[in-house]
């Protein structure tokens, strides 16, 4: 008999806001710091640009140069293409199904734009960005960048290979994902044809959620989860079953909570106010490197 994870909340997308001039995002958490900002630890932030059709543009669209320290940014392209550049010399372009995993660590400058050719042509655009907290002992780790193309992800096929679970981080049914993480994290994309089913087991105490990117899912045989909803599970039970009521895509996330004090401020995620002040001082002194906008 399965020990299902109860659903704590089915979250509608909050009112959208612009990030730079290129991303129209719904911030599912932390929700303006009015809620428990540790609820989805080690995941601190979830910004979701729901699917939209963009007109062609001659003006670059995205987010200009800005700093980070103490966290990782994980960007998933669902539709469209995104270009990344940072002050450590890393750059990359991701298209549908690809992921950029940037470890800011001790500090980095970066910028993210819609890829130039896509920007000129326009088209469907949809993306997800997560901020992943780093534990105190790794806050000042050297910055690095992981370009995770879809064809390098672990893949577990189901439904006579018509459906697939893509493993970005962690392990699923003996297949590991390529992402290198500092704490235990399970991050999957499930692409299911109508009627296909998939089952997952997550540790009982790990904060766990599911973002519906396309279609309509039935979760744990009774809960309807339509597109653009975030499903927050209680930290109870271990099992999650999903069934596609129509062709569907979802992002599942679960990880070991980092039970440390946390002080977020702007683009920095540290453990104390003094560390935040130091981050701004180091940034102003140019210690994060240089990057042209």
- Confidence at 31, pLDDT banded by 50, 70, 90: confident
Beta pairing, strands 175-176 & 208-214: unpaired
- pLDDT, one tens digit per residue, over 250-270 is 999 999 999 999 999 999 999
Query: Span 158-166, mean pLDDT?
Result: 95
- pLDDT, one tens digit per residue, over 93-107 is 999 999 999 999 999
Pairwise CA distance, residues 252 & 129, whole Å: 13
- Which DSSP string do the residues of 47-66 spell out, in sequence order? EEEEEEEEPP-SS--EEEEE
The closest of 132, 250, 120 to 184, measured between CA atoms, is 132
Q: What is the pLDDT of residue 88?
A: 97
Query: Span 178-188, mean pLDDT?
Result: 98
Query: Span 240-253, mean pLDDT?
Result: 98
Query: Span 279-285, mean pLDDT?
Result: 98
Domain spanning 7-284, CATH class: mainly beta
Instruction: Domain ranges for the chain, please list them.
Output: 7-284
The structure's pTM equals: 0.97
- pLDDT, one tens digit per residue, over 131-140 is 999 999 999 9
Query: Span 215-240, mean pLDDT?
Result: 97
């Amino acid at each position: 008999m399965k020990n299902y994870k109860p659903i704590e909340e089915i979250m509608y997308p909050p009112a959208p806001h612009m990030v730079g001039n290129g991303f129209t995002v719904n911030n599912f958490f932390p929700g303006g710091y009015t809620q428990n900002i540790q609820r989805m630890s080690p995941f601190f932030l979830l910004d979701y640009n729901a699917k939209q059709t963009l007109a062609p543009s001659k003006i670059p669209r995205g987010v200009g140069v800005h700093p980070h320290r103490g966290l990782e940014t994980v960007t998933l392209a669902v539709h469209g293409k995104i270009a990344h550049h940072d002050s450590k010399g890393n750059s990359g372009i991701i298209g549908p199904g690809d992921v950029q995993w940037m470890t800011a660590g001790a500090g980095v400058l970066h910028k993210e734009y819609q890829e130039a050719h896509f920007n000129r042509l326009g088209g469907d655009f949809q993306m997800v960005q997560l901020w992943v907290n780093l534990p105190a002992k790794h806050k000042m780790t050297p910055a690095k960048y992981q370009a995770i193309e879809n064809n390098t992800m672990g893949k577990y096929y189901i439904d006579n290979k018509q459906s697939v679970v893509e493993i970005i981080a962690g392990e699923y049914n003996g297949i590991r994902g390529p992402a290198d993480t500092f704490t235990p994290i399970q991050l999957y994309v499930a692409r299911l044809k109508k009627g296909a089913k998939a089952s997952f087991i997550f540790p009982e105490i790990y904060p766990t959620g599911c973002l519906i990117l396309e279609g309509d899912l039935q979760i744990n045989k009774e809960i309807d989860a339509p597109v653009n909803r975030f499903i927050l599970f209680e930290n109870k039970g271990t099992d999650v079953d999903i069934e596609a009521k129509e062709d569907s895509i979802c992002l599942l996330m679960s990880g070991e909570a980092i039970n440390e004090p946390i002080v977020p401020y702007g683009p920095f995620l540290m453990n104390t106010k003094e560390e935040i002040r130091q981050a701004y001082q180091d940034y102003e002194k140019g210690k994060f490197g240089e990057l042209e906008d």
